[in-house]
Amino acid sequence: MTRASRARRLATSAIYGGGGIGLVGAGLVALLREEARSARRRIETHDLRKDPPTGNGVYGSGRGEPIVFVVLGDSSAVGLGVDKATETPGVLIAAALAELSERPVRLVRLAVSGCVSARLAAQVDQALAERPDVALIMIGANDITSRARPSTSVRQLADEVRRLTAAGCKVVVGTCPDLGTIRPIRQPLRLLARRWSRELAAAQTIAVVAEGGRTVSLGSVLGPAFATDTSMFSRDEFHPSAVGYAAAAASLLPSVADSIGVWPASADRGLRLRRNTVRPVAQAAARAAGRTGTEVQPTEVRGQDTGPRGPWARLRRRRPPGIPTPEEAGESARAGVAQPGVRG
């Protein structure tokens, strides 16, 4: 069975209620869960239980109504592992969006550490009250480690993307990261974790594209360097460091900006897109899951959004743009570029 067919089967089972892990798989997942407990104990040992400040507030000083940017999901969206708001993905992307759009951007981070897809609905309820223009969702790792049924997780994510897009909000989903890069998870479970992560990421992509959203593969968060460069990890060796989150933000920024029409075409000219192809969505999802930083979005071929093998999707793999370092973001905030509101 190919990766595309596995992804298609998992996404289809999410729609029709099937799916799940067999008895042998469940036993292996139990072992992975124990490894996750060990990793969480390491988090507690290194005192990373406290989330960084939200950084919620208005960024930029351009004209016009602020772009409302909501950040939803789990600890990766929170920025767990860093101490300053200026080191979190939400603040880094909000500041960059303000510069690109020449408009103020109001950041509303609603993500909660430990969140699984089943608990996204509460965050979306809060987000809709903010009338968001664009939402970034980062979710999936806890669904793997908590033994959530993959089909259920995918369906729940699709439901929340549907609610957001129906309200006129653009949605970008950073798919399940590759848990095979996490050092506290030992072999052979690391290989299994990588497979489960990629299959869930592919199924998430199929479901999100079907609801009109787009995805970005976070893969090894972000790139092969994360698996070998210790500077990319925080002290718990589980969550990214400030450097790691900056890399994540750089990969997510083009898709978030492009979704609301503020990503300049000139940013892609001369950089030569690494990949810009159209495929059936299942093939696109499977390919993206193994290639960090790849965006998948719905598209048309000859005026048709669906072909003989299902909906069409466009893959785009840009070279990550330059994004302010956490130190530069901090300097901008001190200079008055950002006027953060109440920080939680």
**DSSP annotation of 85:** G
| Spatial distance between the Cα atoms of 232 and 221, rounded to a whole number of angstroms | 9
Q: Are 311 and 209 in contact (CB under 8 A)?
A: yes
In sign, the C-alpha dihedral spanning 112, 118, 119, 124 is positive
| Spatial distance between the Cα atoms of 226 and 194, rounded to a whole number of angstroms | 14
Burial level of 9, CB count in 10 A (0-12/13-18/19+)? middle
| Spatial distance between the Cα atoms of 150 and 15, rounded to a whole number of angstroms | 11
Query: Among this protein's residues, is 75 annotated catalytic?
Result: yes
Which of 13, 75, 113, 151 is labelled catalytic? Answer: 75
Angle at 130 between CA 125 and CA 134, to 5 degrees: 95
| Spatial distance between the Cα atoms of 241 and 238, rounded to a whole number of angstroms | 9
Query: Among this protein's residues, is 178 annotated catalytic?
Result: no
Query: Among this protein's residues, is 46 annotated catalytic?
Result: no
**DSSP annotation of 80:** B
Written as one string, the DSSP assignment of 228-251 is H-GGGB-TTSSSB-HHHHHHHHHH
Which of 51, 178, 236, 258 is labelled catalytic? Answer: 236
Q: Which residues are catalytic?
A: 75, 236, 239
